[in-house]
Amino acid sequence: MRSKLRNAVWKTTLAAVGVLICLPVRAGVVDFEDVGATLAPNSYWNGSPNDGHNTFTSNGFVFHNNYTQAWDVWDGFAYSNKTDTTTPGYTNQYSAITGSGASGSRTYGVSFVNLWGDLPKIDVPAGVALQSMQVTNTTYAYLSMRDGDAFAKKFGGSSGNDPDWFKLIIYGKDLANQLLGTVEFYLADFRFADNTLDYIVNWWATVDLTPISSARILEFSLDSSDVGPWGMNTPAYFALDNIVFQTLGGGAEVVPEPASLALLASGLAAAGAAAWLRRRKRAGTEHHAGTRKPGMGIAEAAV
């Protein structure tokens, strides 16, 4: 009987896992086209005219923004459809060096990291698993690194041999603000012995987010080899687009965490075992009822 019980448990467990595996896994993407639909051509949203803390939502993901009306400055996240890839300097802070969003789309996100403020932040909705995102440099940061400016050096220096770099760091956190992991990506890298391998990103590069797929908060910082008495000299900007995520079944259905999968499978297995025992008992009762004689107990009938 124990052997049959074990077999029943395993069959039910495998059936439960099979059901979970067969559930459709659907992909979604945050491409900023929903919020960008209201933008005029060659423009942006940076929080103005809403003084203070702001947010905007694209496909369920909440992006945080801070705008100071008195100084017309912002940090955190903005979104843009600007296409200027040639004008250097701060006045062109909302353009991606690609001249468009990923895959030639109209709208993309822009982030400015305030070195003395809170890190740019995205709230990730429940029930999704992060897969990837695409990033590139802004025109402001790209031209500053390529040519140098009044505040920042030309990457590689005059000889081209300086081992400069510009790095994006993504922090994945849970809802208790506990760090789950980090992902790093070099937006520029001149550390190669062969200078022909040096690069400054001017394309939409894909960043793998699966190491922090379960994060519910994303925060972003930037670091550079070019620093001075006041911190990083490289303009603290990057552009982003196409945050790819997955859900099970789509809609409001959620992606079970590994622990949830185990609990569900074990629960279904226990339910299956209980059902098997009930069927066994019922069958035994029916057998005894059909074979025992008046005055004979069940134990006697089973002999």
147-200 tens-digit pLDDT = 999 999 999 999 999 999 999 999 999 999 999 999 999 999 999 999 999 999
* 185 and 206 inside one domain: yes
* 149 and 215 inside one domain: yes
Written in H, E and C, the secondary structure of the chain is CHHHHHHHHHHHHHHHHHHHHHCCEEEEEECCHHHHCCCCCCCEECCCCCCEEEEEEECCEEEEEEEECCCCEEEEEEEECCCCCCCCCHHHCCCECCCCCHHHCCCEEEEECCCCCCCCEEECCCCCEEEEEEEECEHHHHHHHHHCCCCCCCCCCCCCCCCCEEEEEEEEECCCCCEEEEEEEEEEECCCCCHHHCEECCCCEEEECHHHCCCCEEEEEEEECCEECCEECCCCEEEEEEEEEEEECCCCCCCCCHHHHHHHHHHHHHHHHHHHHHHHHHHHHHHHHHHCCCCCCHHHHCC
Residue 25's pLDDT band, with cuts at 50, 70 and 90, is low
* 200 and 226 inside one domain: yes
Domain that holds residue 289: 2-22+256-301
* 171 and 225 inside one domain: yes
pLDDT by residue (tens digit) across 71-85? 999 999 999 999 999
CB 195 within 8 A of CB 156: yes
The domain boundary residue, chosen from 227, 248, 269: 248
What's the total number of domains in the chain? 2
* 89 and 153 inside one domain: yes
Residue 282: its pLDDT value, please?
46
Residue 257's pLDDT band, with cuts at 50, 70 and 90, is very low
* 120 and 204 inside one domain: yes
Overall average pLDDT of the 115-119 stretch? 92
Give the other-Cβ count within 10 Å of 167's Cβ.
16
Residue 26: its pLDDT value, please?
83
* 14 and 93 inside one domain: no
Q: For 84-88, 150-154, 266-270, which range has the lowest pLDDT when averaged over its residues? A: 266-270
* 217 and 287 inside one domain: no
Q: What is the CATH number of the domain that holds 143?
A: 2.60.120.1350
* 31 and 8 inside one domain: no
**Token pair recorded at residue 83:** 């296409």
Beta-ladder partners of 238: 111
Percentage with pLDDT > 70 across the chain: 73
* 6 and 31 inside one domain: no
Residue 15's pLDDT band, with cuts at 50, 70 and 90, is very low
* 83 and 10 inside one domain: no
Overall average pLDDT of the 256-263 stretch? 40
Q: For 3-7, 34-38, 97-101, which range has the lowest pLDDT when averaged over its residues? A: 3-7
* 78 and 64 inside one domain: yes
Residue 296: its pLDDT value, please?
32
